[in-house]
Structures are given as structure tokens and as C-alpha cells.
Amino acid sequence: MDKIFAIFGDVHSNIDALNVVLDDCRSQGVTDFLCTGDVVGYNACPHECLQIVRDLGCPIVMGNHDHYVSSAQNLEDFNPAAAEVIEWTRHQLNDDEMAFLRSFPFVKTTMGITLVHATMDNPEAFGYVFDHLQAEAHFAHQITPLCFHGHTHCPMIYEKQVSAVYRIDAQDFRLPIGRKYFINVGSVGQPRDGDPRATYVIFDMKTRQITFRRLEYDIAAAQERIRRAGLPERLAERLATGN
Ligand code: ZN
């Protein structure tokens, strides 16, 4: 198969970042899209981002923000800025868009590739995978050689060999046979690894090459949209520093 996949997620309603990523996908010859969830939350363009991602017609798994926005989730114990945007987003979307969000599965396997937003170790609980022990709990559930996720907004590679799991800094590599990989594709719309550029991953099925893409976009425009929508200033500021 000569498919070239773009795997992207944590768009978080950032239309400026999403458009740059999709332009890059076109220039890279991407044939198929896979989305690791959290299309909405944090930024100011939920309607536009949902429409664009929906038009891609690609598999999408349920992110925690997609879930919180489209359910009756009580937000009392949430970080106040996150809760404010979830509440705001609920009021922006129509019934059809809410139903679309609710249709996302928590785990999806397609063409031998698995997608999950956070971890397959209880995917509906949205636990964070930051180290090899948390990745080990995930690998107990991963059947396919390759699984992509997001949620932490930090690109990362977890590799399972016969008896051990390793955490490897995000880097381009060719998938060896006989090992399993759990790859965090980072975030399109709100990177948190100290690099503010939008992130996604390309997987070339024929060459087995994994490539992490980092792209500059108009951060000032995204910040301006947040301010104009009256959303928390902290959410605008953090886009500039990538944390
Ligand atoms: Zn997220």
C-alpha cells in the first residue's frame, strides 16, 4: 500500500494552526488523515475546525474536551480556564455539531493502525502518559504494531521491545519490524513542549517512515481571536510560549 497518513490531534479550535497543517499535508502528498481527538476546546473557532475536520471524512477518536463539551459533564472540579472554554464552546455549537462530537469512538483501529486520545488503559478515563510505566499499562492493550495518541500535547515515542518499554524523544525514524510503538503526535492547536509551532506526524506506509512535522503559524491571529471572544487571557499567552 502506498498510503501516506497524516496523524493529527489536539486541534483545540485553533483554525490558524489547522489551516497551516492541512496546507503542509497537501505539499507532503498525504493521502489519508487520522485524528487523535480534541477537535474543540481552548481556542476560539470550534465551528470552523469541526467543519474542516468533518469534511476530511477521516477516523476521529474521542478527546476529553470533545467529550466534556458534548456531554452533561459537571465542570466544578476543572481548571477554571478550561471549564470556561468548555462552557463557551457548548453555546457555540448546534445540535448537529454536538451529535457529531458524541459519535466519536474512544478507540478506533483502521488499516492496522490504532488511534486513542489518551491511553488504551481505560480510554474513557483519559489518563496521561508521560513515562514508560504509564506506557507499559497502555501496551498491555495495544494489539497492532502502531498506535497514535495525543492528550499531553507533547510529541513523544514509546517503544515496546520483548520485555521492556522505552521512552524516546520525538524524532524521525523508520519503523522496525517486530516491535510495538505508541506515538504521541503532539498538538496542532496548543503545543506544550516548549515549542509553540503546530505539530503533527506523517506515516508513509510503504517506506515505514515516521516524520514529526513542526510548523510556524500566525500565533498573533489565534491570540486575537481568543481575546475577541472574551476567553481567558492565559489561553492566548500560552500559545506564544508553547507551554
Ligand atoms: Zn487536548
CATH number, residue 114: 3.60.21.10
**Residue 61 cell numbers, joined:** 477518536
Angle between helices 95-102 and 46-56 (to 10 degrees): 50
pLDDT for position 163: 83
What pLDDT digit, counting tens, does each position of 62-98 carry?
A: 999 999 999 999 999 999 999 999 999 999 999 999 9
Dmax (CA) of the chain: 52
Q: Are 211 and 225 in contact (CB under 8 A)?
A: no
What pLDDT digit, counting tens, does each position of 206-218 carry?
A: 999 999 999 999 9
Displacement of CA 139 from its chain's centroid (Å): 19
DSSP character for 60?
B
**How many angstroms does the Cα of residue 79 sit away from the middle of ligand 1?**
13
Number of domains in the chain: 1
**How many angstroms does the Cα of residue 25 sit away from the middle of ligand 1?**
21
**How many angstroms does the Cα of residue 192 sit away from the middle of ligand 1?**
10
**How many angstroms does the Cα of residue 177 sit away from the middle of ligand 1?**
31
Is the pTM higher than 0.95? yes
The parent domain of residue 102 ranges over 4-241
Closest CA to 9 of 21, 23, 27, 24: 21
Tens digits of pLDDT across the chain (243 residues): 689 999 999 999 999 999 999 999 999 999 999 999 999 999 999 999 999 999 999 999 999 999 999 999 999 999 999 999 999 999 999 999 999 999 999 999 999 999 999 999 999 999 999 999 999 999 999 999 999 999 999 999 999 998 899 999 999 999 999 899 999 999 999 999 999 999 999 999 999 999 999 999 999 999 999 999 999 999 999 999 999
**How many angstroms does the Cα of residue 196 sit away from the middle of ligand 1?**
15
pLDDT for position 162: 85
